[in-house]
A and B are shown apart, each in its own frame.
Chain A
């Protein structure tokens, strides 16, 4: 029932959104809202923090405590907000460039602290808002406007990065599997610690066009055909793993949460 979700959780005066036809960002945004709705959280106790880029425009469309910050810094702003007011459920909306390039350091340290924030990355493998430059998640060899002869950089596995840095919930889903995103955002919010949900989005306008991936439907079909749940992936022989997108809950850990640790210091006086 998307219309009811829009009525309740979207600032209709801020619509229509800026995203191109066929963009996957709307699916992720709707999934976040649906997860919040499923958990029954009050809009007043949710804070949505975003950075800069296509994905990060989502905060303005949503009727919560919302802040659209500077490029890459969403997690740093969010850390200040959560640390100052732990009663807020803080959800960060960020993109692959925002979170893995200019904001990479903040991602590592938010994960290391295990602060109770849920970061949802809209990974479309490209800098969309600036017109299609390659990002840290553009697959090696793919093209962008700044990689006209193919990208020679190794692309990041953001989930491995978040896990290694100390996140206590790590998952991945694609925009073809919206229900999986909803479930993962719910689990991320429920996890008392740093949760990292990578959503594989699609950008037919720039990434798709530059790399001859077809239209939005073709790109969705690609996600459908190549997304493999972690349990199934682990059983696949090596030769069948190539180009697969591993989805599902990838890691769940247990560590003290940052704000709780600090509050213990306050309470000791």
Chain B
């Protein structure tokens, strides 16, 4: 294997580099801390490779612009933080129903509202899942190291293209702003997925018809000769709006099921010292790093703790969490919020084992020492 390039890289920078490797050629955004470097680096790097960067007038304009750009065939991304993420929800819903691939990065900070700028928080777990109105499913990824940001950003684009859906990348301020030495994977180690283009000619093209054996409809781009209609209204296979109740039911169900039926493909997670563990921590992002240190310390003392770290937080790794729950005496969900993921883990694991939570919302990281004490308290 060819030697990998080694770089000292900031989390937000890894996000931009990963996105460009995945094929991002369009970025639109609005300045907001702690995500700003993603916009700044996109502005510097994209025109050098023929890509486009737009600073829009607001957060809603930014997500609107990337949806428009994606419809012309450009892989597109926007990045924001909590207050902006609230505004993006309108566009996320639009991208869900119109099945336009795009990536939305939310480098979280304390909320609600303007909250605690530049302090870490993991409070957007549920907003990522249910922020936009109406029944829908969504893919949300959550990296915990700079290298993982690089890989996960690539994966976010791949999943967006494969499932024709917006994919949300949730990040922690501390990792977005932290610099770590990372090995950049070589091209032959990276898989890039591009949206499936129509095989039929334009007169036979139905923009929202799913071909037998496919997960999503084939996607033409504006300007390619396939003239089609895109709308946020419920639509038939033709793309044209309809009030037909049967079609409405079928569309919403298909949009949810294209994700829920493919959980095995979408879900990614890391297991840490789980083999002989009789107690398990569930943690993601920066908290998972503290948990790792805590587990190592606890193991030194003979306490058999392991960790399940979801990297895909939505949809949930239901099967895996259930399997763990059947084997251990306790699961502790540790997160920088007041139990947003805990409730979901408890829903899955609570029938098999005891599920506890430990969290904080003061803008400080949860330390390994705190986790050690919490686990020892039992």
- In the docked arrangement, what's the CA distance between A45 and B57, Å? 27
- In the docked arrangement, what's the CA distance between A262 and B231, Å? 29
Q: Mark A37-62, 1 if CB is under 8 A from B, else 0.
A: 00000011101010000000001100
Determine if B114 is an interface residue (Cβ-Cβ < 8 Å): no
Q: Judging by beta carbons under 8 Å apart, are B52 and A66 in contact? A: no
Of B48, B94, B222, B238, the residue contacting A69 (CB under 8 A) is B94
Q: Judging by beta carbons under 8 Å apart, are A76 and B64 in contact? A: yes
Determine if A105 is an interface residue (Cβ-Cβ < 8 Å): yes
Closest to A59 in B: B229
- In the docked arrangement, what's the CA distance between A83 and B74, Å? 11
Q: Judging by beta carbons under 8 Å apart, are B61 and A84 in contact? A: no
Q: How large is the interface on B (under 10, 10 to 19, 20 to 34, 35 or more residues)?
A: 35 or more
Of A14, A44, A80, A266, the residue contacting B65 (CB under 8 A) is A80
Interface centre among B47, B64, B69, B238 (most CB of A within 10 A): B64
Contacts of B62 in A (CB 8 A): 76
Determine if A88 is an interface residue (Cβ-Cβ < 8 Å): yes
Determine if B91 is an interface residue (Cβ-Cβ < 8 Å): yes
- In the docked arrangement, what's the CA distance between A191 and B47, Å? 26
Given that A70-B90, A80-B65 are known contacts, is A65 also in contact with B223, CB under 8 Å in the complex?
yes
Contacts of A43 in B (CB 8 A): 227
Determine if A210 is an interface residue (Cβ-Cβ < 8 Å): no
Q: Judging by beta carbons under 8 Å apart, are A66 and B230 in contact? A: yes
Q: Judging by beta carbons under 8 Å apart, are B26 and A80 in contact? A: yes
- In the docked arrangement, what's the CA distance between A88 and B223, Å? 7
Contacts of A73 in B (CB 8 A): 60-61, 64, 90-91
Q: Judging by beta carbons under 8 Å apart, are B69 and A81 in contact? A: yes
Min C-beta distance of A262 to chain B, whole Å: 7
- In the docked arrangement, what's the CA distance between A265 and B69, Å? 19
B positions within 8 Å CB-CB of A: 26, 28, 47-48, 50, 52, 54, 56-58, 60-62, 64-69, 71-74, 76, 90-91, 94, 221-225, 227-233, 238, 240-241
- Please, could you name 16 A-B residue pairs with CB atoms under 8 Å apart, sorted by A? A43-B227, A45-B223, A63-B227, A66-B227, A66-B229, A66-B230, A76-B57, A76-B61, A77-B65, A77-B68, A81-B71, A81-B72, A84-B26, A109-B57, A109-B61, A269-B47
Q: A70-B64, A70-B232 are in contact. List 16 more A-B contacts (CB 8 A).
A: A44-B227, A60-B241, A65-B222, A66-B230, A76-B57, A79-B64, A80-B26, A80-B66, A80-B67, A81-B71, A84-B52, A85-B73, A85-B221, A87-B223, A106-B61, A262-B52
